[in-house]
Amino acid sequence: MTTAGYRRIIVKLSGEALAGDMPHGIDQATVDRFAADLVAARALGVTLGVVVGGGNLLRGATAASHGADRTVADVMGMLATVMNALALESAIERLGASARAMSAVEMPQVCETYERRAARRHLADGRIVLFAGGTGNPFFTTDTTAVLRAAEMGADAVLKATNVDGVYSADPKRDPSARRYDRLSLDEAIERRLGVMDLTAFSLARDHRIPIIVFSIREPGAVESVLSGRGRATIVGG
């Protein structure tokens, strides 16, 4: 048990974070840093799953706004998440820890297909499971996937990694009067339309009483800090 009291968590890592300082793509140094962070968090004794986004490579809605077919673009977005998950899986295993990428989109030559009971077994065996391919359906996001997998895996919380240290009333980079919340309810997050997650993700979290911990991934060791109750974060729900 960690200081913050979480035994089983799902970390949501956006694709954008994996690009590091680059506008697009996968920055290997950043992947290696996140892998080390996840391995350190796992060493606290917490059971750890990770839902990886794909926005560093392709976002369906953006591609559709340039004329692509939305459902095809979303499938491409889901494939992007698989690439990111493979990069993380490989980086975690290079550190000597055990990881398993599982894709909601079947591609047996590439990685295991997501199956709830198999994923639970991997977690129970101490592996870090990388949930790839989103929900496997177009028109959803990997934020929603994170809450969905948290519900399926019986996780205590979703740790949503961002570039800022919590949820603010407005964009703190643009509005100096923006207020930072330490805690807020999922109802408040939905009513105030706080953009940190989409409404589908928030309402699923509310229905299943899964708190979302919003924290900054910018500093090395961030996941471990939040789990041990040291790091700054906003707790939404719970």
Contact residues for ligand UDP, defined by CB under 6 A: 14-16, 53-55, 59-61, 73-74, 77-78, 80-81, 134-135, 137-138, 140-143, 145
Q: Where are the alpha helices (DSSP H) in the chain?
A: 15-18, 28-42, 60-65, 70-94, 116-124, 142-153, 186-191, 199-207, 222-227
Of 11 and 226, which CB lies nearer to ligand UDP in the complex structure?
Answer: 11
Is 163 annotated to bind ligand?
yes
Specify the residue for token string 């105030």: 192
Is 59 annotated to bind ligand?
yes
Count of helices and strands (H, E) across the chain: 9, 11
Is 160 annotated to bind ligand?
no
CA distances from 56 to 17, 46, 173 (A): 8, 28, 21
**163: nearest Cα among 10, 24, 20:** 20
Of 57 and 157, which CB lies nearer to ligand UDP in the complex structure?
Answer: 57
Of 39 and 73, which CB lies nearer to ligand UDP in the complex structure?
Answer: 73
Is 96 annotated to bind ligand?
no
Q: CB of residue 135 vs ligand UDP: minimum separation in angstroms? A: 3
Of 4 and 147, which CB lies nearer to ligand UDP in the complex structure?
Answer: 147
Q: CB of residue 8 vs ligand UDP: minimum separation in angstroms? A: 21
Q: CB of residue 76 vs ligand UDP: minimum separation in angstroms? A: 7
Is 12 annotated to bind ligand?
yes
